[in-house]
Amino acid sequence: METMAEEMTVTMMENELEEFITYLKEVKKTSHNTELSYKRDIAKLEKFLQMQGITDISKMTVTTLQSYVLYMEKGGAAAATVSRNIASIKAFFHFLFRKGYVKEDISEDLKAPKIEKKMPEILTTDEVNRLLDQPKGNTPKDIRDRAMLELLYATGIRVSELIGLKVADVNLQIGYIICRDARKERVVPFGAPAKRALSEYIRSARDLMLADQTSEVLFTNCSGQPMSRQGFWKLVKYYARKAGITADITPHTLRHSFAAHLVENGADLRSVQEMLGHSDISTTQIYANMSQNKLREVYAKNFPRG
């Protein structure tokens, strides 16, 4: 394919970016959120290039990209943000090179900053119990909230997966849900408390909350529309305050707590990895590290010759 690098200008990057996003969606089967993230990151790079007076992408060099990384770091961007932007740039330039839009992939030598992995915030089992006990009433909203919290902790699924569930994704008889994304699906089991809460919600509350009785969505907001991430985030914050939990928790805290409590009680990492939907077990390893740290603390505190 004849290269188009000489003709392509920064103002023309929008067309190539749209083609790149289409490629991610149709070939790589990425999620919508991932596509939005790539788009934002490349748009910020384009803005930087315009500030530098660079209007011809063929004039860009490794130094140009390194200057952009330095610009982000001096602007106070976190290491994780810089690292994500570099990943986006690399993916985009690799695509441009493969398509013949640039003569070489100048992003190859970009190095992501070292990210210090922080231990995730987790709740104690007592805090989890207090949180799950908060929706005490018998209104449709209380019943829904109880079911959502119980299911989230029982499965460790992502909040996007929770609010995206359909009724057909739930098997109450055996006790599992099916989580789907663009690339794969996985089966995640849940126990008796979540089963009771879900059964009650489906039996006595869901139909009362639905605005459209033909809807397949499992959980709705109080207007009968599908629950949003922001809506559920506020719900978790509300019940955390009622439970007297001082930590600044999010729905993801329950996912972390689910995994940490499983590992702490002897679950093998491969099983936890499968339930969480992690593509790489190294991501799941952090929960084993947390468990080991706790064991060391208990040993140091209680062993007489520690």
Query: What is the DSSP code (8-state) at residue 188?
Result: E
Task: Record the pTM.
Answer: 0.62
217 beta partners: 166
Taking the CA atoms of the chain, what radius of gyration do you get in angstroms? 24
Whether 46 and 92 have beta carbons less than 8 Å apart is answered as no
Looking at the chain, how many residues does it have?
Answer: 306
Domains belonging to the chain, first-starting first, are: 10-99 (1.10.150), 125-302 (1.10.443.10)
Alpha helices in the chain (DSSP H): 13-23, 32-51, 62-74, 79-99, 125-132, 140-155, 159-163, 192-204, 206-209, 229-242, 251-264, 269-276, 281-302
Question: What confidence tens digit (pLDDT) does each residue in 73-132 have?
Answer: 899 888 888 889 999 999 999 998 888 888 889 998 888 877 666 667 888 889 999 999
Helix (H) or strand (E) holding 165: none
Lowest-confidence region among 2-6, 47-51, 281-285, 287-291 = 2-6
- Angle at which helices 13-23 and 79-99 cross, to 10°: 100
> Which tokens go with 185?
């699906």
Question: What confidence tens digit (pLDDT) does each residue in 180-238 have?
Answer: 865 678 899 999 999 999 999 999 999 998 888 888 999 999 888 888 889 999 999 99
